[in-house]
Amino acid sequence: MKTRIIHFFEVLSSNFWVIPLLLLISGAGLAFLNVYLDKTLYARHIELPELYLYFNSASNIRTLLSVSATSILGVAGVSFSITIASLTLASQQFGPRLLRNFMSDRFNQLVLGCFIGTFLYCILMLQFTGSMELDKTTPFFSMMSLLTILIFNLLLLVFFIHHIAVAIQAETVITEVNNELVTQMNCTFPNKADKNSQSIQLDIPDDLTKKFEQKGEDIYSTTSGYLQAIDTDNLVKCATDNDYVIKFIIKPGDFILTNSVIAHCLASDQIDEIEKDINTHLLIGSEGTPEQDPEFAVRQLVEVAVRALSPGINDPFTAISCIKKLGENIAFLMQRQFPTQYHLDDSGQLRLELKPFTFRGIVDTSFDQIRQHGKNDIAVVICLLQMLNKLILQSQTKEHMEALKVQAEAISSVNTDDVIALKDKEDIKELYDVINVSLNTKESTLLT
């Protein structure tokens, strides 16, 4: 249930209409509340400030409401046009998958919601004041609220234009994606110093692995799409109640085809029912989400870098910024522990084995495509080698070193073409030699 609730809020956060809808309802509620307060205060003969004299003219009030409604609707249209233009530009420059970040921008949603909420407030107040006896009732609260809202909307418009101008800058986009990546890694990978979140280390018997290979029943997917999340708690409960063990061969972020094998299961019978239960606890959608996929934001940064290296954009500086952010997060990951892939029932028996995320996999996801598309850009190649050297010096395990060494060797091997200037070759070779020295030094340090 917890997984589904998190998934539900993740879907809501990526929808543009949620906050505008709430503010639209708030505008209607404020109109009803103000009319009620105006009539109630007048009925109780509460003394109002002298400012209420400005709201005694029915024609002036309706003119103000009409002008406000017309103007704010025009401003909302202009704001919406600016938003669409910025989304189009972002899609072309940073990739269509980055649109999710712009769609989930709370400030954009707030601005549009305030504008349409104000428009609805004006329309409702026009209706209310049309049937209100102004010689007996002074709409003091209604009009003061309108003036306050209009001033707030004008300020919002100024901030909105500034916000859009900043939001479409490459550095801002990279920073926003990187912040999401940091948040996801903090949630997914616990701190090594936190004893309460230590990963469960299990020695899985070889006979259990052989049983999966020899006797495990294949579990097939009943639908296609991106695996967004796995409801592990309920899966463990189902496996315990029906006495079976599951081993997934897919992980969140993978694309699944209908009738493709997604898991192996050790069970005595009722494999059809088990297959149905397993598919029920998989959240599959038309696009990937970051809730259980730490590589989601990594791929977004990689996409920004790859598009920046395309001939149409040719912006290596943006790609270099992405490399630095990716390196920063890999260094952060070295200080964390990977969550366990094994899930046990209350009696300590293995019930669920997930396909794990690995350090090597995240490093490859971070650098493979950038290396492939940036192999002819010497500045990008040198930045990659420099970043790999820095990461090697911070590596703490042999797994860290091996993953980074593979990337360094791949970069060195593709930059031996004759079209590369001699000086550039020497710079690359010099950096690669530095990396080899760092690898040897670090390896001897780890051995001691």
Of 348, 287, 257, 340, nearest to 10 by C-alpha is 287
Residue 83 vs residues 11, 119, 337: alpha-carbon distances, Å: 21, 19, 40
Burial bucket for residue 326 (CB in 10 Å: 0-12, 13-18, 19+): buried
Of 254, 251, 264, nearest to 225 by C-alpha is 254
The reported pLDDT for the residue numbered 49 is: 54
The reported pLDDT for the residue numbered 346 is: 83
Residue for token pair 């972020």: 253
Distance CA 127, CA 90 (A): 41
Contact in structure between 431 and 385 (CB atoms under 8 Å): yes
Distance CA 255, CA 114 (A): 39
pLDDT, averaged in runs of 10, over the chain (448 residues)? 62 74 92 85 54 64 87 85 76 72 80 92 85 65 88 92 84 85 85 54 58 77 91 88 88 92 82 85 86 87 90 88 93 88 84 89 92 88 92 89 90 65 80 86 72
For every residue of 44-75, DSSP letters joined together read: TTPPPPGGGGGG--HHHHHHHHHHHHHHHHHH
Q: DSSP character for 336?
A: B
Q: Are strands 350-353 and 342-344 parallel, antiparallel or unpaired?
A: antiparallel
Of 21, 53, 20, nearest to 143 by C-alpha is 53
pTM, rounded to two decimals: 0.79
The reported pLDDT for the residue numbered 196 is: 46
For every residue of 384-448, DSSP letters joined together read: HHHHHHHHHHH--SHHHHHHHHHHHHHHHHT---TTS-HHHHHHHHHHHHHHHHHHHHHHHHHH-
**188-201: pLDDT as tens digits:** 888 765 554 444 45
Distance CA 219, CA 32 (A): 56
Q: Is 136 helix (H, G, I), strand (E, B) or coil?
A: coil
**131-153: pLDDT as tens digits:** 666 556 677 788 888 999 999 99
Q: If you classify domain 206-285 with CATH, what class do you get?
A: alpha beta
Q: Is 255 helix (H, G, I), strand (E, B) or coil?
A: strand
Distance CA 56, CA 58 (A): 6
Q: Where are the domains of the chain?
A: 2-168, 206-285, 302-334+357-447
Contact in structure between 227 and 221 (CB atoms under 8 Å): no
